[in-house]
A = this chain, B = another copy of it.
Amino acid sequence: MAANFGKNYKISIFGESHGNALGVNIDGIPAGTELNLEFLSQEMRRRAPGRSKLTTPRVEKDEFEILSGFFDGKTTGTPLAMIIRNSNQRSKDYSELKRKPRHADWSGFNRYNGFNDIRGSGHFSGRITASLVFAGAIAKQILKSQGILIAAHIKSVKDIEDRDFVESDITEKNINKLRNMTLPVLNEEIVEKIEKVVEKTREEKNSLGGIVELMVTGLPAGIGDPYFESMESELSRMIFSVPATKGIEFGAGFGITEMTGYEANDEMYFDENGEIKSFTNNNGGIIGGITTGMPISFKVAIKPTASIEKAQKTVNLETKKNDILEVHGRHDPIIVPRAVPVLEAATAIVILDRVLEAKKYQL
């Protein structure tokens, strides 16, 4: 269902950029989970704009209110709903965007017969991902208690590349460090380079994209299913729900197509502790749709922010002629840093859903 995801950890989202409120209803949180509200707030702030000059100067507080499913500091096991009020609802004139649609406004116009809320992209706004961050933060907290960690960093901006994750990067300490960085990268030497190219792009009223790499550790072998509920199927389905995503690859991904089978097969061995590992992890911890016990690793392509101030060609639905659109406003010159916590959260939601699913493989 368009608004709903999950079979076991189930979310149902709603909201628009400039509506009264946005939020999420979560069903399936194990009863009695103590929520760390401070952690939830921190995660929300990671996504919120205005944290650095790399993001839009728009200030959104993203203060959430829990409406249900939470009693005496613990989850009740029944649906937990959360809302965030939109403080920022100036009734600006959006008629130009209605006449001259841009990106998702055009899709939405066709999908919803012209009735979609066009203010600030409405339901298509990246702002809606605040609900994913919230649901993901609860999932992360639960997964951590099971020894499962999720980390993400910016793998590249334009042609500036960070190194890849290795399993030993995934420690609580490193994760906390990445979470507190404005530009979460492993090789800190590239930070200044990225800042420069972003600044230049902002001045040109243009925008940039990039690649985010994610890693999940602590999952045992045997989680997932072949075919339509493969780990890759469930993860990709969710990741492509994050606006601006245009590609996903697991392990060596597209690069695996240039290897031979001998190179691509991750040869297994017993490590010093008698645990089964593989020398390489070209399959990103998933074979046959099921975890192998190696870390899950994947990369996500995030396109440049679609909303730019630079004048662009478009159609005018009123005059039925070609026209020019200039979108004034305060846009993110690069959405990638703010996409990082969203992708982490999206991953956490899927992983928790699959961990709960695995509970019923046996009686």
Given known pairs A68-B21, A249-B254, A265-B312, the reply for A112 and B12 (CB within 8 Å) is no
CB closest chain-B residue, reference A260: B206
A55 interface contact, C-beta 8 A: no
Cβ contact within 8 Å between B3 and A288 = no
Chain B hits for A163, CB < 8 A? none
Given known pairs A113-B31, A269-B313, the reply for A12 and B8 (CB within 8 Å) is no
Cα of A289 to Cα of B159 in the assembled complex, Å: 27
Given known pairs A3-B12, A222-B107, the reply for A260 and B227 (CB within 8 Å) is no
CB closest chain-B residue, reference A143: B363
CB closest chain-B residue, reference A317: B276
Binds B, one of A175-183, A188-196, A352-360: A352-360
Chain B hits for A4, CB < 8 A? 1, 4, 10, 12, 27, 228
Cβ contact within 8 Å between B21 and A227 = no
Copies of this chain, complex-wide, total 4
Chain B hits for A282, CB < 8 A? 303
Cβ contact within 8 Å between A247 and B258 = no
Chain B hits for A32, CB < 8 A? 112-115
A57 interface contact, C-beta 8 A: no
Cβ contact within 8 Å between B19 and A71 = yes
Cβ contact within 8 Å between A228 and B116 = no
Which residue of B3, B230, B264 contacts A240 across the interface (Cβ within 8 Å)?
Answer: B230
Cβ contact within 8 Å between B237 and A234 = yes
A245 interface contact, C-beta 8 A: yes
Cα of A314 to Cα of B237 in the assembled complex, Å: 32
Chain B hits for A243, CB < 8 A? 226, 288
Q: Mark A325-363, 1 if CB is under 8 A from B, else 0.
A: 000000000000000000000000000000111011111
Cβ contact within 8 Å between A233 and B228 = no
A102 to chain B, nearest CB (A): 7
CB closest chain-B residue, reference A242: B227
Cα of A142 to Cα of B360 in the assembled complex, Å: 13
Cβ contact within 8 Å between B360 and A116 = no
Cβ contact within 8 Å between B76 and A290 = no
**Lowest 5 A-B CB distances belong to which pairs?**
A110-B222, A104-B288, A247-B249, A207-B261, A12-B12
Interface CB pairs A-B, < 8 A, 18: A3-B79, A4-B4, A15-B68, A16-B71, A20-B65, A76-B123, A77-B116, A78-B116, A106-B268, A159-B258, A232-B245, A232-B246, A246-B249, A246-B254, A247-B250, A257-B302, A265-B306, A287-B306
Beyond the given A15-B81, A31-B113, A246-B284, please list 13 additional residue pairs across the A-B interface where CB-CB is below 8 A. A5-B227, A16-B68, A109-B222, A211-B257, A226-B241, A233-B237, A246-B249, A247-B256, A261-B303, A261-B310, A262-B312, A268-B313, A269-B322
